[in-house]
């Protein structure tokens, strides 16, 4: 995956290079790496937001996928409730089915009256709450979490991690990008270390995190 560079030099910036990765249904993977390693770009490719510049991405077309990332996918002029309704219908629910989920989503977010306000008025923490609650409570098959558990107050972060563990069925696939090792240890049983757009290490959470820490 490459992005064009602006300015006098021009050219391309290669974010992912010869990346080869296989993820099975039901796996919970923690994605680690330094800033610019390609973690967020990889999630967007898996989620179908970015097409790769080369190579092939295969995902079961029958599986639903949600990418939860700050500032991604919300319509600022719509309320939190209306954004949750839209997200539910995009995941294949009928309007009636979607409406039945809205109160539970609003309750989980703890947004109170702000749930009825435009998302453009939200703080980053409020957006995180809405995005996480919507993705989790819609029972998406593949859940891609890009630092979505890292913002907001400590109480909600802990609540979100506990809810994630409680609702993870054996067939739900999760890929988590998070800068805090504890969140990965609590959620994942496999870790992938990206460096300069390639997989440097892939294995158990304990082994990969130890190798990553030793290289810091």
Q: pLDDT tens digits, residue range 182-208?
A: 889 988 999 999 998 899 999 999 999
Q: Give the length of the chain.
A: 216
Tell me what pLDDT residue 116 has. 96
| Burial track 114-136 (b if 16+ CB lie within 10 A, e otherwise) | bbeebbeebeeebbbbbbbbbbb
Arithmetic mean of pLDDT, 138-153: 77
What is the rounded radius of gyration, in angstroms, for the C-alpha atoms of the chain? 18
Pick 141 or 1 by higher pLDDT.
141
Tell me what pLDDT residue 87 has. 82
Q: Nearest 10 degrees: CA dihedral of 216, 144, 165, 86? A: 150
Pick 37 or 180 by higher pLDDT.
37
Tell me what pLDDT residue 145 has. 87
Could you give the C-alpha distances from 52 to 30, 118, 164, in angstroms and in order? 21, 33, 29
Q: How far apart are CA 189 and CA 170, in angstroms?
A: 12
Tell me what pLDDT residue 52 has. 87
What integer best gives the mean pLDDT of the chain? 86
Q: What percent of the chain has pLDDT over 70?
A: 91
Q: How far apart are CA 208 and CA 195, in angstroms?
A: 13
Q: Nearest 10 degrees: CA dihedral of 85, 91, 96, 100? A: -70
Token pair, residue 9, equals 């030099």
Tell me what pLDDT residue 8 has. 53
Could you give the C-alpha distances from 113 to 22, 80, 116, in angstroms and in order? 43, 10, 6
Predicted TM-score (pTM) of the model is 0.79
pLDDT tens per residue, range 168-177:
788 889 999 9
Domains of the chain: 21-52+141-216 (3.40.50.300), 74-139 (no CATH)
Q: How far is CA 177 from the centre of its chain?
A: 7
Q: How far apart are CA 205 and CA 203, in angstroms?
A: 6
Angle at 187 between CA 44 and CA 177, to 5 degrees: 30
Q: Is the pLDDT of residue 139 over 90?
A: no
Arithmetic mean of pLDDT, 88-101: 85
pLDDT bucket at 7, cuts 50 / 70 / 90: low
Q: Is the pLDDT of residue 4 over 70?
A: no
Arithmetic mean of pLDDT, 15-23: 91
Token pair, residue 177, equals 């990008």
pLDDT bucket at 72, cuts 50 / 70 / 90: low
Q: Is the pLDDT of residue 133 over 90?
A: no
Pick 5 or 76 by higher pLDDT.
76
């Amino acid at each position: 995956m490459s992005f064009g560079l602006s300015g006098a030099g021009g050219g391309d910036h290669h974010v992912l290079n010869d990346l080869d990765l296989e993820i099975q249904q039901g796996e919970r993977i923690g994605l680690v790496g330094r800033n610019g390693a390609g973690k967020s770009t990889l999630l967007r490719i898996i989620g179908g937001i970015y097409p790769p510049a080369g190579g092939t991405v295969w995902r079961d077309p029958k599986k639903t996928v949600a990418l939860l990332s700050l500032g991604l996918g919300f319509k600022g002029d719509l309320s939190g409730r209306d954004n949750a309704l839209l997200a539910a219908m995009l995941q294949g629910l009928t309007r009636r089915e979607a409406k039945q989920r809205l109160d539970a989503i609003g309750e989980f977010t703890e947004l109170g009256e702000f749930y009825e306000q435009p998302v453009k008025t939200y703080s980053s923490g409020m957006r995180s709450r809405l995005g996480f609650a919507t993705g989790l409570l819609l029972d998406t098959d593949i859940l891609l979490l890009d630092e979505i558990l890292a913002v907001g107050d400590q109480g909600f972060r802990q609540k979100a991690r506990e809810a994630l563990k409680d609702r993870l069925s054996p067939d739900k696939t999760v890929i988590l990008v998070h800068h805090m090792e504890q969140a990965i240890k609590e959620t994942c049983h496999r870790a992938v270390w990206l460096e300069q757009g390639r997989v440097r290490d892939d294995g158990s959470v304990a082994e990969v995190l130890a190798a990553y820490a030793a290289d810091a």
